[in-house]
Amino acid sequence: MWNRRSFIIICIFLNIFRIPNGECQSVNINTNKPVLAFNYPLADTSFICRVNIISNPDSVPFQYSSIIVTPVCNDGLCQTLEIELHWNLIGNFTGYDTIEEKPLTKFDHLPFTSMDYEKLQTILGDQNSVLERKKLDELFDKEKVRVSEKEDATTGATANAVKNAIVEGALYSTYKLWHIANGEIKAKIREHTESIYNPLIRDQLIQSGDYRNQLFAIRLFTDDEYDSQFNDMLNLIKTSNSLVEMYILKKLPNAILVDSTHQLELANIFSEMDINGKSLFLGGLHKIENVCIASLQLLSAKIDDMTVGQLQDYLLLLTNSQYLGDAIIAENLKNASTIADTKGYYILNYIKKANFSD
């Protein structure tokens, strides 16, 4: 008797095993049906793989996937490899799934062990793998060979220098998969994500906790978004990677710094910025005509968190401002002048020139 479950099982079966026109078909195993993003030709093969984009229950895209079908050996010792790869929205590999009844195999058709599968996940996720810099023939120890116990053939033994970067006995598979997962397809995925980019995708990337996703989103910010997403940016400056912080503060539109509320909020988290972020923020204040008194007062209490160069930048801001003799700033500078180092020297000189030493 036909029912919904039977229909789904048959559809999955057909999607896995029906490969018309040499295309690699992706399998719909999610509540939200995968949608074709683009077709991608595999290097050195005739296969054109279908790369799908998958959305979460809220219909926000979050992942790309594709079933890869490719030969992995030149000597005929290994079977055709079939596997489903997954990437996030900026093209970074996130994981893989094996195809039912088609486990991955190693030399002499030995099946992968559970440890092999775990190691493969780690290897494919390593964007800085030695595999990126090595040609295939450099992965073999040319003085050693492995003899097949099942076929009349041999293959080169793995070179010691790359043993940690491959699954032992599956050199071809590991090398091929790494270059598929981390190759040109990454750029294609990024291009597609940019073509469908919207505020929902932006928010998902920013809230992901991954600085690479956040940096991707920040680089696409418009000037208006620096304003509308200001609270998110403050949070990223405080919590994200220093690269994200530097990019935000370097690209911060002058209109944000001119706004006294935004300016004060940035000054308030000055101590939480890293050394480069602090310099960029002070440098940004030099680019606007008027720095508000509240920001200068707040920064005067954070001299301990400044380098000598940053202190000089701050004192120059005071010199160029209309608040040269502000009582709060004067008091904080006098307290900081007791610092027994170069900063104390600069502060004392400034106090004398400003004529509020009494």
Highest mean pLDDT out of 274-283, 316-325, 339-348:
274-283
Alpha carbons 13 and 303: distance in angstroms, whole number: 67
Look up the domain containing 230 and give its range: 199-354
With contact defined as beta carbons under 8 Å apart, do 29 and 6 qualify?
A: no
For the record, the structure tokens of 232 come out as 């998110």
Q: Which residues of 28-45 are buried (b: 16+ CB within 10 A; e: fewer)?
A: beeeeebeebbebebeeb
Q: Does the structure show a pLDDT above 80 at 111? A: yes
- Of the three residues 149, 164, 186, the one that is the final residue of a domain is 186
pLDDT greater at residue 327 or residue 107: 327
8 shares a domain with 56 = yes
155 and 299 in a single domain? The answer is: no
Co-location of 77 and 103 in the same domain: yes
Structural domain ending residue among the three candidates 159, 186, 213: 186
Which tens digit of pLDDT belongs to each residue from 69-87? Answer: 988 765 555 578 899 999 9
Q: What is the pLDDT of residue 31?
A: 47
Q: Is residue 5 pLDDT above 80, yes or no?
A: no
Mean pLDDT rounded to a whole number for the chain: 83
17 has pLDDT over 60: no
Q: Name 169's Cβ contacts closer than 8 Å, sequence gap at least 6.
A: 106, 107, 108, 110
Query: Judging by beta carbons within 10 Å of its beta carbon (0-12, 13-18, 19+), is residue 168 exposed, middle or buried?
Result: middle
Quick check: is 233 in a domain? Answer: yes
Identify the pLDDT of residue 140.
62
CATH code at position 228: 1.25.40
More confident residue, 44 or 271: 271
pLDDT in the model for residue 25: 39
In tens, the pLDDT along 89-101 reads: 999 999 999 999 9
Q: CB pairs under 8 A, 24+ apart, for 17-20?
A: 19/69
Lowest mean pLDDT among 9-23, 93-107, 212-226: 9-23
Per cent of the chain over pLDDT 90 is: 60
pLDDT digits (tens, 9 = 90+) for 143-176: 545 444 444 333 455 555 567 888 988 888 899 9
Residue 172: its pLDDT value, please?
86
Are residue 25 and residue 171 in the same domain, yes or no?
Answer: yes
> pLDDT tier at 14 (50, 70, 90 boundaries)?
very low
Query: Is the domain of 21 the same as that of 145?
Result: yes
- Could you give the angle at the alpha carbon of 316 between the alpha carbons of 262 and 278, nearest 5°? 45
Provide the token pair at 172. Answer: 């071809």
pLDDT in the model for residue 135: 79
Across the range 24-30, mean pLDDT stands at 38
Question: pLDDT tens, 286-296?
Answer: 999 889 999 99
Checking if the pLDDT of 142 tops 70, the result is no
How many domains does the chain divide into? 2
Is-contact 221 232, C-beta < 8 A? no
Is 215 within 8 Å of 247 (Cβ atoms)?
Answer: yes
Q: Could you tell me the pLDDT band of residue 320, with boundaries at 50, 70 and 90?
A: confident
Distance (Å, rounded) from C-alpha 335 to C-alpha 358? Answer: 13
| 242 and 179 share one domain | no
- Of 186, 207, 235, the residue that ends a domain is 186
**In one letter, which amino acid is 231?**
N
Whether residue 235 sits in one domain with residue 144: no
Element (H, E) at 71: none
Q: Are residues 39 and 168 in the same domain?
A: yes
Q: Is residue 179 part of a domain?
A: yes
